[in-house]
Structure 1
Amino acid sequence: MNHYEWPVRVYYEDTDAGGVVYYANYLAYMERARTEWLRASGFENQRLMDEDGVVFAVRRASIEYLKPARLDDELTVHASVAQLKRASLLFKQEIRRGDELLCSGEILLVCVDTQSFRPTSIPDKIRDRIDRTR
């Protein structure tokens, strides 16, 4: 599954004093979509830690904010794997309200060993799943 969509509703706690989504919450929405993409692909974070000894850590995030989301908006967070390397995944992500693009970004994840927190190869089972859906 290369492309994934995750629905999000904006709650009061997500907004700032101006009634719009606080900028850091867009990153949290993107994180949830990537986590659910992983789960929908058959891999849960806890199982990856326990069985494979790996986690994915954000190495770089580049976000462009175009329009604000507001309280009670129904949003869709899109996540697509744009690039697969030995130890990293580059995701292209968008947050939309219907057809309206509110935010876009690129998030680089690095697969790291849970003991050393040093980069390590992405498990073959994940790499194979991504390769099959490209």
Structure 2
Amino acid sequence: MAEDKLAIFEHQIRVYYEDTDAGGIVYYANYLKFLERARTEWLRALGIEQDELLERSVGFVVKRVEMDNHAPARFNELLRIQSEIVELKRASLMFKQTIVSPSGQRLVSALIRVACVDLRAMKPLAIPAFILEEFTRVV
């Protein structure tokens, strides 16, 4: 995948029945799961596997979420999730993520701050150089 395609990474997610309420509308908390999956797939596209990070006791944890719901997603829709890094610091980064309907309508927009932590100590950790190198390549 070319670097320019990773600057704004796009991932698709199908809305399953289990994601919805009785009216077939996505339950708001499930958008956070969709956003998490998209960030994980973006890392994978960069060649960063989270299980390998876990072996090194390196983790990325969500520190802050600011999310706006603009319109509902519905059962069986194939949603597009766009993710990009808008801020990169020594031990944290901020993602801008947008969930878009099949018709192109913006459904959800979010800013999510993710912190790098040493999972054994549960303390902030500078983003390891090999990861930072991949991030700076697409920011």
- Normalising by the smaller structure, the TM-score range is over 0.9
Q: Partner of 2:70 in structure 1?
A: 66
Q: Deviations over 1:11-45 (max 9, x none)?
A: 10000122100000100000000001011101111
The residue matched to 2:73 in structure 1 has which SS?
A: coil
Note if contact 1:2-1:130 (Cα within 8 Å) is conserved in structure 2.
Answer: no
Unaligned runs of at least 5 residues, structure 1: none
Distance across 2 between alignment mates of 1:32 and 1:53: 20
- Partner residue of 1:119 out of 98, 111, 124: 124
Question: When the two structures are aligned, how many residues end up with a matched partner?
Answer: 133
Q: Partner of 1:105 in structure 2?
A: 110
Q: Give the TM-score of the pair, scaled to structure 2.
A: 0.92
Distance across 2 between alignment mates of 1:132 and 1:35: 17
Q: Which runs of 4+ in 1 moved over 3 A?
A: none
Q: Deviations over 1:59-80 (max 9, x none)?
A: 0001000000001111001110
- Partner residue of 1:56 out of 44, 52, 60: 60
Q: Partner of 1:130 in structure 2?
A: 135
- How many Å apart are 1:126 and its aligned residue? 1.2
Question: Which amino acid in the other structure matches residue 81 of structure 1?
Answer: I
Q: Partner of 1:81 in structure 2?
A: 85
Unaligned runs of at least 5 residues, structure 2: 1-5
**2:97 equivalent to 1:93:** yes
Distance across 2 between alignment mates of 1:8 and 1:116: 34
Which runs of structure 2 are paired with 1:3-22 in the superposition (5 Å)?
Answer: 3-22=8-27
The residue matched to 2:136 in structure 1 has which SS?
A: helix
Give percent identity, aligned residues only.
46
Distance across 1 between alignment mates of 2:111 and 2:19: 21
Distance across 1 between alignment mates of 2:59 and 2:96: 19
- How many Å apart are 1:2 and its aligned residue? 2.6
Q: Give the TM-score of the pair, scaled to structure 1.
A: 0.96
